[in-house]
Every structure is written in structure tokens, then in C-alpha cells.
């Protein structure tokens, strides 16, 4: 299916009426709507839907490097490459009532010049009622071991960032603004927002709740194989400096990412790493202790 912006889109639907839209550019989820047809993911009002940059919104894949921590471009190159359909996704049979698509990115000759490691990066995207599951896998197809950092960057759509609370990261250590030198410890009971936040929370629980009071909606993020969680909102000043982000867009977005950053993942030849992320939503009666 072709979207209005010209990029071909894969659309997954399920019987209750929710849907997901995926583009091969970046292997990126760009929309997730619930059964009431409300959009759950943020997409920038100034998003640019073409190379060379990643699309600002949805769920970009950061690989083989998160942030600027290595020699590669910020957040690696997987998010601005054209992925393909994966014809060999056999080890993961789809569960009942799920609609899925399997994508793959393989290193090209060009990629090998900037990151000389041959790999296969797979992403299964599955939709069921109220739930979006992403399963990334990385296979080392090289003759030597390599390591990488990784993140699924979830741009969540929120009604008003000042009214949002994140639970599940309290008392954890974190790095500030991508600087991996000094560790801080979270003191707050829950994270709230009144200015820029750009933190990598380390070794988090597998469940994080993002509570949007105004919308009476809670996102529940469950993750496996990706021990860290990045929380990012640029706030007003930084938002103005990001060309593909509307000046006011920061108010309606929050990134909470599933990530493996502090301890890079090491793969020997022929080994495969697998992660798992599940996003779901519940309405306001949700109690975070449950």
C-alpha cells in the first residue's frame, strides 16, 4: 500500500480494528492506531520521509551503534537504510490472532566500508488486540566476533508532556546526555517532565509504565534482552534546533526506548542475538503496582 508521502507502506490489521503501518525505509513502524483509530505513536509535523535521515517518529531502529558513542553516524545506519521482506523467518512461528511482517537488513558492500562486519538484522513486527510486539534479531555472518549497541526508539504520542509520569525507573542508575562517564542515581518516585530529559537508565526492570493522565491512558513497555532504557524529550530550546521537529511537537512526544547500551552485545561468528519488546495500552483504571 502506498502512503500519501510516497513511501510504500505495509499495513497490519487485526479483528478489533487496530492497525500498524511499517515502511521498508528504516524497517520502521510509523503508525500504531488502537481500535478507536487513535494514533498511539508520535510522528513529527515536519517529518521528512526520505533518505538520508531517519524518519522523525514511530519506532526507528538504532543499530549498530546507539547515539554518538562510537565512530559511526549518530544511532547507526539501520534507521536510514532500505530494508527488505524476510523470506526466511522460520524460527519464530506467529502466535494465534497475530498479524505479522518480517523484515531484514543485510550489510551491503557500502556498509562494510563504514562498519566492516557482515550481519543480518531481522525485525518481526506483530500486532494483536491492544498489543504491538517487536522482535529484533542480529546474526553475525562474519568470520570474526563483533559487538554492537542497539535500541528500539519508541516515539510515544502523549497529550501533554508536563502531565506524563514514567514509573519503573525509580532508584536506578543512569547516564546523562549520552555521557557514559558519570553515573547518577534516580531519586524521584516517578519521572516527570519540566525540561529536557536525555538519560540512559541502566539495567531496568522488564516493565516500564508511561502514564498519560490527560488522555487517561497508560503505555506499558515490556522488554527482554535490552536491559537499558533511554528516556528522551528535547523540550522547547532543543526542539527548535532539530530541523525535522515542529517547535511545539515536543509537548506531544516522549521517547522511551528499549536498549542495550552500557554492555554492548558480543556475537561470535554464526551466533544470533534476540530481543523482545511489547507495547500495550491500558485505560486509566490501571494501577501500576499490578
9 is in an annotated binding site: no
Phi-psi region of 247 (alpha: psi -120 to 50; beta: other; left: phi over 0): alpha
Cell numbers found for residue 88: 526466511
Cβ at position 232, least distance to ligand TA6 in Å: 4
Interaction between residue 67 and ligand TA6 (CB under 6 A):
yes
Complex with ligand TA6: residue 34 or 74, whichever CB lies closer: 74
Place of cell 495500552: 281
Interaction between residue 232 and ligand TA6 (CB under 6 A):
yes
Stretch in the footprint of ligand TA6 (CB under 6 A) among 67-75, 188-196, 208-216, 246-254? 67-75
Q: Which of 175, 160, 128 is nearest to 18 (CA)?
A: 128
Cβ at position 153, least distance to ligand TA6 in Å: 7
Over the window 21 to 40, marking each residue x when it contacts ligand TA6 by CB under 6 A and - when it does not, the resulting string is: --------------------
Cβ at position 60, least distance to ligand TA6 in Å: 7
Interaction between residue 178 and ligand TA6 (CB under 6 A):
yes
The beta strands (E) that lie in the chain are given as 9-13, 19-23, 28-33, 61-62, 84-85, 99-106, 119-128, 131-140, 146-152, 155-157, 164-167, 173-176, 179-185, 197-201, 207-212, 217-224, 228-233, 253-267, 272-274, 276-283
Complex with ligand TA6: residue 133 or 175, whichever CB lies closer: 175
Cell numbers found for residue 130: 491492544
Cβ at position 192, least distance to ligand TA6 in Å: 18
Q: Which of 198, 228, 249, 262 binds ligand TA6 (CB under 6 A)?
A: 198
Place of cell 562498519: 115
DSSP 148-195: EEEEE--EEE-S-GGGEEEES-TT-EEEETTEEEEEEE--SSSB--SS
Cβ at position 177, least distance to ligand TA6 in Å: 6
79 is in an annotated binding site: yes
Residue count at the site for ligand TA6 (CB under 6 A)?
Answer: 8
Binding residues for substrate, by number, are 56, 74, 79
Which residues form the interface with ligand TA6 (CB under 6 A)? 54, 67, 74-75, 178, 198, 230, 232
Amino acid at each position: 500500500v502506498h502512503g500519501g508521502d510516497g513511501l510504500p507502506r505495509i499495513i497490519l490489521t487485526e479483528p478489533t480494528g487496530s492497525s500498524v503501518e511499517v515502511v521498508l525505509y528504516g524497517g520502521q513502524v510509523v503508525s500504531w492506531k488502537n481500535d478507536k483509530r487513535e494514533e498511539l505513536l508520535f510522528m513529527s509535523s515536519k517529518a521528512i520521509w526520505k533518505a538520508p535521515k531517519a524518519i522523525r517518529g514511530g519506532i526507528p531502529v538504532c543499530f549498530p551503534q546507539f547515539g554518538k558513542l562510537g565512530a559511526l553516524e549518530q544511532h547507526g545506519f539501520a534507521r536510514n537504510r532500505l530494508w527488505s521482506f524476510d523470506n526466511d523467518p522460520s524460527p519464530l512461528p506467529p502466535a494465534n490472532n497475530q498479524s505479522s511482517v518480517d523484515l531484514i537488513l543485510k550489510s551491503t558492500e557500502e556498509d562494510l566500508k563504514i562498519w566492516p562486519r557482515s550481519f543480518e538484522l531481522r525485525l518481526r513486527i506483530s500486532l494483536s488486540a491492544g498489543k504491538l510486539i517487536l522482535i529484533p534479531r542480529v546474526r553475525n555472518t562474519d568470520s570474526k566476533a563483533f559487538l554492537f549497541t542497539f535500541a528500539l526508539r519508541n516515539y510515544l504520542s502523549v497529550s501533554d508532556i508536563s502531565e506524563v509520569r514514567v514509573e519503573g525507573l525509580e532508584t536506578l542508575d543512569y547516564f546523562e546526555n549520552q555521557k557514559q562517564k558519570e553515573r547518577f542515581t534516580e531519586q524521584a518516585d516517578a519521572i516527570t517532565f519540566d525540561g529536557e530529559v536525555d538519560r540512559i537508565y541502566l539495567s531496568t526492570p522488564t516493565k516500564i509504565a508511561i502514564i498519560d493522565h490527560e488522555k487517561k491512558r497508560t503505555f506499558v513497555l515490556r522488554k527482554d534482552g535490552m536491559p537499558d532504557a533511554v528516556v528522551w524529550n528535547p523540550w522547547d530550546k532543543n526542539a527548535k534546533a532539530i530541523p525535522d521537529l515542529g517547535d511545539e511537537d515536543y509537548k506531544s512526544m516522549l521517547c522511551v526506548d528499549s536498549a542495550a547500551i552500557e554492555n554492548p552485545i558480543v556475537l561470535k561468528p554464526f551466533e544470533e542475538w534476540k530481543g523482545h519488546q511489547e507495547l500495550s495500552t491500558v485505560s486509566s483504571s490501571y494501577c501500576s503496582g499490578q
